[in-house]
Amino acid sequence: DGRGRGPVGIARAWAAVLRRPRRFFTTGVAPGEQAPGLAFAVVVAVVYVAGLLAVQPGLILGTSVVPILVLLVTAVVAAPAGLHLIAAIQTVLLMLTVDDRAGVSETVQVVAYATAPCALTWIPVPAVAAACTLYGAGLLLVGLATVHETSLPRAIVAGGIPAVLVFGIGFRGLWLLAALVGS
């Protein structure tokens, strides 16, 4: 029946998707249940941005009101719009690669819940942050294979571009990996 709501539901979903992803994607993603996934993605994005602002105070210039505005824009505009844009791209790619797939709402939820480890990518240790983005990309691919009942290789083909967009660019995974390789 989808995920629980509120802070407890979000915390349980976060722990469940990190511990048992296949089971989570099998039981925690339900048709027509976008709201819990959207709330989850917003919380992850806000935690990520708040963490970045806390550990990199010079990241944005301005008064103390500016970080609050950045968090507000993240919660109300950036996270919801980004989630639905990526889910739309993912849906088109699934249409091209998977014959009998689940619906759009399930795809939105898979993308949303795959971001779970990225709540920790603000941690100023490149290896930890990079591992979080790689784990998130892996969760996306496992989630696609599980929810859309397709093979992992087909999920990789369908989910490769969205994984790079979300985890490589959105959560800075490409830059983190480059920093690790360069050091």
Cβ proximity of 33 and 3 under 8 Å:
yes
3: confidence class by pLDDT, cuts 50, 70, 90: low
Residue 80: what pLDDT? 98
Q: 47: closest CA among 93, 102, 10?
A: 10
2: confidence class by pLDDT, cuts 50, 70, 90: very low
Q: Which residues contact 170 (CB under 8 A, 6 or more apart)?
A: 82
* pTM given for the model: 0.94
Buried b (16+ CB within 10 A) or exposed e, 60-91: eeeeeeebeebbeebeeebbbebbbebbebbb
Average pLDDT, the chain: 94
The three-point CA angle 128-113-1 to 5° equals 150
1: confidence class by pLDDT, cuts 50, 70, 90: very low
What's the Cα-to-Cα distance from 37 to each of 32, 143, 148, 157, 167, rounded to whole Å?
A: 11, 13, 17, 23, 17
pLDDT in tens, 147-176: 999 999 999 999 999 999 999 999 999 999
The two tokens of residue 100 are: 């009998």
Only one residue has tokens 């889910």, namely 87
